[in-house]
Amino acid sequence: MRHLMNPLDFTTEELEQLFDLADDIQAHPDKYAHKCEGKKLATCFYEPSTRTRLSFESAMLNLGGHVIGFSDANSSSAAKGESVSDTIRMISCYADICAMRHPKEGAPMVAATKSSIPVINAGDGGHQHPTQTLTDLLTIRSLKGRLNNFTVGLCGDLKFGRTAHSLVNALVRYDNISFIFISPEELKIPSYLRDKLKELNIPFKEVIRLEDSLPELDLLYMTRVQRERFFNEEDYVRLKDFYILNKEKMKLAPEDMLVLHPLPRVNEISVEVDEDPRAVYFKQVQYGVYVRMALILTLLELA
Ligand code: NCD
């Protein structure tokens, strides 16, 4: 039995298979409409979510399965002090697969060690968000036709943004990738990622100004400043509007650059950019359903 905690839990070959399956699901949805009949997905969300939870639920329903779960820790026994280890033992009796989001780094991993059903990390604190990364990679592969040879700019809260951490982790396995990390001093990428890039000899720069980097980028990954992970509101207010991508700045970017964002967006991308054909963040949402369908089938060994 396999779990998904980190995008690196799948080899690049396995990821290719998963993305091929997602492509086939997109092309022939009817073929997959009954694959999960009689199966249940539990969504255990101890932290707020719109896209991740609903895309998992939509994915399972598209496969003909059922969904149970909770979307607020206060409405579960966690409010009474139950540990994730105990909760997952119980969920294992109710469902066939579980997607778990938790504010504590490593909580889904702890759950996986006690689980008799596959557990998917749907975001653990400021650590990882592997299914968003699968979504990002499928979007890039579908729209660019490849996952190598890119200069990738990641912009915003690179300290707390788990989607950025997971994406960097996953992209280092492809050829000829270089990174430009665009963040204020206080929100730089964690040192463990910087060390990993150095160890692997992957070129990267850390800069503050977005405008200077835009002309060099093939992909721009914008992120929200993660208010809930700040220790004080004052720092958040000071940093929240540090970057605002607008039409004017988009003029500096190459014609074929893609703008991705895991969403939710706050102010970091002005709504006027939504009409730009390079803005693909709403397309990402749709790819997120196909890739989660492919993931559920793969983990349930129904692919
Ligand atoms: C992200 C998350 O939860 O980390 N959202 C998502 O799942 N698409 C990004 C964010 O909250 O900023």
- Domain 131-284: give its CATH superfamily: Aspartate/ornithine carbamoyltransferase (3.40.50.1370)
Give buried/exposed letters for 116-151 (b at 16+ CB in 10 A, else e): ebbbbbbbbbbbbbbbbbbbbbbbbbbbbeebeebb
**pLDDT, position 65:** 98
Q: Which atom of ligand 1 is nearest to the CA of 135?
A: 8
**pLDDT, position 230:** 87
Which residue of 43, 45, 46, 52 sits with most ligand 1 atoms within 8 Å of its CB, as the best mutation to test the pocket? 52
Q: Where are the domains of the chain?
A: 7-128+285-299, 131-284
**pLDDT, position 268:** 97
* pTM, 2 dp: 0.96
**pLDDT, position 264:** 95
**pLDDT, position 198:** 98
Is 80 a residue of the active site?
Answer: yes
Q: Which atom of ligand 1 is nearest to the CA of 129?
A: 4
CATH architecture classification, 7-128+285-299: 3-Layer(aba) Sandwich (3.40)
Catalytic member of 52, 133, 135, 163: 52
Which residue of 58, 163, 265 sits with most ligand 1 atoms within 8 Å of its CB, as the best mutation to test the pocket? 163
Q: What is the mean pLDDT of each run of 10 residues along the chain (303 residues)?
A: 96 98 98 98 94 96 97 83 93 98 96 98 95 98 98 97 96 98 96 97 98 97 93 90 97 98 96 98 98 98 95
292 Rama sector, left if φ>0, alpha if ψ -120 to 50, beta otherwise: alpha
Q: Let me know if the fold of 7-128+285-299 is the same as that of 131-284.
A: yes
